[in-house]
Chains A and B, each alone.
Chain A
Amino acid sequence: MGKRVAISGNHSIAEGVRLAKVDVVAAYPITPQTPMVEKVADFINQGRLDAKYIAVESEHSALTAVVGASVMGTRVFTASAGAGLALMHEIVGVASGNRLPIVMGIANRSLPSPWSLQADHSDSMAERDLGWIQLYAASCQEALDYTLLAYRIAEEVRLPVMVCIDGFFLTHTTEAVDLPDQADVDQFLPAFERGDIYLDPDDPMTINQLNSEATFTELKYRHNEALNSVVDLFPHVAKEFEERFGRKHSLCTAVGCEGADVVVVTLGSSSGTARKVAGQMRADGQKIGTLQVSCFRPFPKQEVIDHLKHAKAVAVVDRSWALGTDGPLAQEVKSAFYSAGLNVPVYNFVGGLGGRDLSEATVKRVIGKALELKEQEEQALYPIWIDVKEEAK
């Protein structure tokens, strides 16, 4: 049953694309996504993936091409990062508004400026409210598994999915990954079936046309209903995935949250780092929990509330330079807490920007600062930049 291989996060998503038997790929290379689409191209070249690869002149064209291919009734893939994703922005809403089950690999890279090749979530966060499902992986194994879950969920709810992996810390990191058998994937992910919106010369329809105020709100309402339904659908699909492949996945993963003095909330590759640090601290008798949020859109409010409601304080780590207010993850946690009437202090920490390592020492500093603020009963109105150098202050 399957085999264990040593592959990078980029390669893991490409394996997911191969196993999903994608029909059409269009992508434009950009660091740190390039090896992802190169590997997909290799699979096609080697005859291991029977797909059409469309080489395009820009990211805007890449997403446009897979929108067209998806409407034609094919399973599609594209990928981007940083400024490349920003160039797709116009079409991001077109893909989701037309309810197309596109899967896009995101190699998270900071948006300019200053220019950076390296990781933070500012690129995918800039697209977060455009109606896509967003999954953030914490390991190369999750990168592969989330790609398979993404196709399955995308095609059930007819919505596109971004599978996000941190630039370099996942894209270029090699790990042991269990690769499933094709036969098992075929059972898990049935052949592509076109939805209600399609292009067919024998059955013509107009799509993506101009809408008046008479219908716009209702179409957006249905789009939102479909997106929110993923919170209920995900656990069912994940259970089936676990039964078939033996690996458990959740909207969010909590460890040691019950009665914790501080719970650290993370997205992406720093989640495992936080778990390791918190685990060591628990072994030393300290009550520190962790919550990895895997599904950021839709945001699993109830699950987050349930995991965090008995914590004494919450430290949310945002790897995004959302300026002028809280980071996007902290905004979500605070919003969910307020809706639930919870009065638990939530501290927001910004760190790991532009490729700065979110190290174990940084996680310890987050926990230490949160404990200190809680002890002093202080609230921090704006985020605390946890790894900024003194010389910048």
Chain B
Amino acid sequence: MQEKELRILSRGGQGAVTAAHILVEAAVAANLYAQAVPSFGQERQGAPVYTFARISQEPVESHTYVYEPDIVVVFDPFLMELGIDPLQGIKDHATLVINDKKLPEQLRGKFAKTGIVDAWGITHELIGNVPPNAAMLGAIAKTTGLIQIEHITQAIMNVLGERIAKVNAKCAQVAYERTVVSET
């Protein structure tokens, strides 16, 4: 496997930084190398947040943001209304993982592979009004096939506090099952 670079588009408070950390934990459990790079600034809840990750069979050398992602993860499709473009810099044959009920019109036919998940719906159904990050992790596992869902749920159990770990792991599992993956 060549190194895969991810760009995660979210808002402050949606848990993308924690999700990226959990992704690295899961990758390590899967005997891979990985890296999560948050782009911190002076943050506010609701403001756009870019988070980056790399997954590789070799130790990751680059310590920069990701400008040409293999995989784009959209936690919040309404970010596109702010002019944030999930297509920016994507590599050929890129993969999209998006939290939505259906694929937005402007993204149709642009990605080689898409995974669509109603992460808010699933999270609301299983937990309540909390960040959709666990569900998005399940969708990433299903769509990309880079990390097994068992490693994701185990990483959630390791990283999150006991009180919330189990229900979040369940959330990832259900999102994994319900993510609709299509290839063009």
Chain B contacts for A169, CB-based, 8 A: 37, 63-64
Task: Give A58 Cβ to nearest chain B Cβ, in Å.
Answer: 23
Interface locus among A61-69, A152-160, A265-273, A302-310: A265-273
| Total contacting residues, chain B, CB less than 8 A | 26
Chain A contacts for B40, CB-based, 8 A: 32, 117-118, 168, 172
Q: Are A173 and B37 in contact, with the CB atoms below 8 A?
A: yes
Contact of B38 with A by CB under 8 A: yes
Instruction: Select which of A4, A170, A275, A357 is within 8 A of B65 by beta carbon.
Output: A357
Contact of B24 with A by CB under 8 A: yes
Chain A contacts for B25, CB-based, 8 A: 6, 174
Closest to A141 in B: B59
**Which residues from 67 to 118 on chain B have a C-beta closer than 8 Å to any C-beta of chain A?**
67
Contact indicator per residue, chain A 90-124, by CB within 8 Å of chain B (1) or not (0): 00000000000000000000000000011000000
Q: Are B37 and A272 in contact, with the CB atoms below 8 A?
A: no
Q: For the complex, what is the distance from the CA of A276 to the CA of B32, rounded to whole Å? A: 18
Chain B contacts for A359, CB-based, 8 A: 64-65, 67
Q: Are A276 and B28 in contact, with the CB atoms below 8 A?
A: no
Task: Give B70 Cβ to nearest chain A Cβ, in Å.
Answer: 15
Residue of A4, A169, A172, A174 with most partner-chain B CB within 10 A: A174
Contact of B21 with A by CB under 8 A: yes
Q: For the complex, what is the distance from the CA of A166 to the CA of B63, rounded to whole Å? A: 10
**Which residues from 142 to 184 on chain B have a C-beta closer than 8 Å to any C-beta of chain A?**
155
Task: Give A233 Cβ to nearest chain B Cβ, in Å.
Answer: 27
Given A170-B63, A272-B62, the answer on whether A176 and B38 have CB atoms closer than 8 Å is no
Chain B contacts for A358, CB-based, 8 A: 64
Chain A contacts for B36, CB-based, 8 A: 173-175
Q: Are A173 and B63 in contact, with the CB atoms below 8 A?
A: yes
Q: For the complex, what is the distance from the CA of A360 to the CA of B52, rounded to whole Å? A: 14
Chain B contacts for A173, CB-based, 8 A: 35-38, 63
Q: For the complex, what is the distance from the CA of A118 to the CA of B37, rounded to whole Å? A: 14
Interface range, A side: 20 to 34
Chain B contacts for A139, CB-based, 8 A: 59, 63
Instruction: Select which of A117, A166, A176, A355 is within 8 A of B24 by beta carbon.
Output: A176
Contact of A138 with B by CB under 8 A: yes
Q: For the complex, what is the distance from the CA of A301 to the CA of B62, rounded to whole Å? A: 26
Chain A contacts for B60, CB-based, 8 A: 175, 272
Residue of B33, B42, B60, B62 with most partner-chain A CB within 10 A: B62
Contact indicator per residue, chain B 127-139, by CB within 8 Å of chain A (1) or not (0): 0000000000000
Q: For the complex, what is the distance from the CA of A117 to the CA of B38, rounded to whole Å? A: 14
Contact of B34 with A by CB under 8 A: yes
Task: Give A145 Cβ to nearest chain B Cβ, in Å.
Answer: 13
Q: Are A360 and B59 in contact, with the CB atoms below 8 A?
A: no
Contact indicator per residue, chain A 124-145, by CB within 8 Å of chain B (1) or not (0): 0000000000000011010000
Task: Give B51 Cβ to nearest chain A Cβ, in Å.
Answer: 11
Contact of B125 with A by CB under 8 A: no
Task: Give A256 Cβ to nearest chain B Cβ, in Å.
Answer: 14
Contact of B20 with A by CB under 8 A: yes
Chain A contacts for B21, CB-based, 8 A: 6, 174
Given A169-B37, A173-B38, A175-B34, the answer on whether A273 and B28 have CB atoms closer than 8 Å is no
Task: Give B10 Cβ to nearest chain A Cβ, in Å.
Answer: 16
Q: Are B63 and A360 in contact, with the CB atoms below 8 A?
A: no
Closest to B31 in A: A4
Q: For the complex, what is the distance from the CA of A117 to the CA of B20, rounded to whole Å? A: 22
Q: For the complex, what is the distance from the CA of A66 to the CA of B32, rounded to whole Å? A: 39
Task: Give A166 Cβ to nearest chain B Cβ, in Å.
Answer: 7
Q: Are B61 and A175 in contact, with the CB atoms below 8 A?
A: no
Chain B contacts for A138, CB-based, 8 A: 63
Chain A contacts for B37, CB-based, 8 A: 169, 173
Q: Are A273 and B24 in contact, with the CB atoms below 8 A?
A: no
Contact of B27 with A by CB under 8 A: yes
Q: Are B28 and A360 in contact, with the CB atoms below 8 A?
A: no
Task: Give A167 Cβ to nearest chain B Cβ, in Å.
Answer: 9
Contact indicator per residue, chain A 266-287, by CB within 8 Å of chain B (1) or not (0): 0001101101100100000000
**Which residues from 173 to 215 on chain A have a C-beta closer than 8 Å to any C-beta of chain B?**
173-176
Q: Are B24 and A175 in contact, with the CB atoms below 8 A?
A: yes
Contact of A5 with B by CB under 8 A: yes
Residue of A5, A166, A175, A357 with most partner-chain B CB within 10 A: A175
Chain B contacts for A141, CB-based, 8 A: 59
Q: Are A276 and B62 in contact, with the CB atoms below 8 A?
A: yes
Instruction: Select which of A170, A176, A269, A272 is within 8 A of B27 by beta carbon.
Output: A176
Task: Give B14 Cβ to nearest chain A Cβ, in Å.
Answer: 17
Contact indicator per residue, chain A 363-392, by CB within 8 Å of chain B (1) or not (0): 000000000000000000000000000000
Task: Give B49 Cβ to nearest chain A Cβ, in Å.
Answer: 13
Task: Give A289 Cβ to nearest chain B Cβ, in Å.
Answer: 15
What are 13 A-B residue pairs whose CB atoms fall within 8 Å in the complex?
A6-B24, A6-B27, A6-B155, A139-B63, A168-B40, A169-B63, A173-B63, A175-B35, A272-B60, A272-B61, A273-B62, A359-B64, A360-B64
3 nearest A-B pairs in the assembled complex, by CB-CB distance? A272-B61, A269-B63, A6-B25
